[in-house]
């Protein structure tokens, strides 16, 4: 099962760190001088794979620039590093019927991702096709980290916010499938605490640490240890003055965050 691989690697290397792979083509090719996005991703992975629980490429950063081949090569390269090193394809797909089946095929058959993010706002039927393979994970958008998400996700349904209602609905409609995870943004730790109180053992993918300003301390206090904590810009685009090795700076940023996470978890 997907979640078994996540837990196995988390225990194996003592990590909750997920590294986002969102390439900015002009920076990578023109400023850093790489011949391809894949080569850049390869160097990121080489510098950080022993610290990373998983990697999370964002599909739009590839498809908008016709870089699907680079994405395929990146995922294959990550898998070759370690059998338990997983890839979350951040695609945020959401549709029904055969369309959802094709989106699942895109993520899992074409790109060979281990999990993908999905938008559940078309109802539980829109994510069930993604859960048909027990080796794959599905990570539903519940409470996202962007500021305007509260305009919708925090609206009350009875006495509870919409995000909580949807999380409960998905768990019920998918028979509490352990391969179903939730996106819970670090910018709303009250929401993390609320959903954690409902679901003690489910894993959360947590964006919003780093460039978006989420509190790592408050996130771990609210969410416990079953967290996949994502960082993208703060790791793969570190402050660099053009001197020294760029990827040494990448590793330093990943190491610092990895150590901070582990220190806080050990105290939780």
Catalytic residue among 39, 92, 168, 221: 92
Mean pLDDT by 10 residues, the chain (268 residues): 96 97 90 92 98 98 96 98 95 94 97 98 93 97 96 96 97 96 97 97 93 89 97 90 86 97 91
The predicted pLDDT at position 200 comes to: 95
Residue 232 near residue 211, CB atoms below 8 Å: yes
| Pair of tokens at residue 209 | 């640490």
128 catalytically annotated? no
Give which of 177, 56, 44, 70 is closest to 113, Cα–Cα.
56
> Who contacts 16 (Cβ-Cβ below 8 Å, separation ≥6)?
10, 53, 225, 227, 228, 229, 261, 262, 265
pLDDT score of 213: 80
Distance CA 211, CA 226 (A): 22
pLDDT of residue 244: 80
Q: Within a 10 A sphere around the Cβ of 108, how many other Cβ atoms? A: 20
Instruction: Give the pLDDT score at 219.
Output: 97
pLDDT value, residue 240: 75
pLDDT given for residue 97 in this prediction = 86
pLDDT of residue 268: 72
Secondary structure E strands in 105-155:
115-118, 137-143
* DSSP classification of residue 133: S
């Amino acid at each position: 099962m997907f979640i078994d691989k996540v837990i196995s690697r988390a225990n194996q290397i003592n990590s909750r760190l997920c590294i986002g792979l969102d390439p900015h083509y002009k920076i990578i090719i023109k400023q850093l001088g790489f011949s391809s996005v894949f080569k850049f991703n390869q160097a990121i992975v080489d510098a950080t794979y022993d610290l990373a629980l998983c990697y999370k490429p964002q599909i739009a950063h590839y498809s908008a620039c016709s870089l699907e081949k680079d994405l395929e090569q990146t995922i294959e390269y990550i898998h070759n590093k370690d059998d338990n090193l997983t890839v979350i394809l951040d695609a945020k797909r959401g549709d029904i019927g055969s369309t959802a089946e094709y989106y699942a095929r895109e993520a899992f058959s074409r790109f060979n991702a281990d999990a993908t993010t999905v938008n559940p706002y078309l109802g539980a039927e829109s994510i069930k096709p993604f859960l048909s393979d027990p080796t794959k994970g599905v990570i539903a958008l519940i409470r996202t980290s962007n500021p305007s998400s509260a305009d919708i996700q925090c609206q009350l349904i009875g006495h509870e916010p919409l995000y909580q209602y949807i999380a409960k609905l998905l768990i019920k409609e998918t028979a509490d499938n352990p391969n179903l995870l939730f996106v819970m943004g670090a910018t709303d730790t009250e929401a993390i605490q609320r959903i954690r109180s409902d679901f003690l053992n489910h894993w959360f993918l947590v964006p919003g640490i780093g460039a978006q300003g989420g509190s790592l301390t408050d996130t771990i206090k609210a969410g416990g240890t079953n967290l996949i904590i994502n960082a993208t810009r703060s790791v793969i685009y570190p402050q660099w003055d053009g001197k020294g090795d760029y990827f040494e700076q990448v590793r330093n940023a990943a190491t610092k965050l990895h150590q901070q996470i582990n220190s806080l978890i050990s105290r939780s």
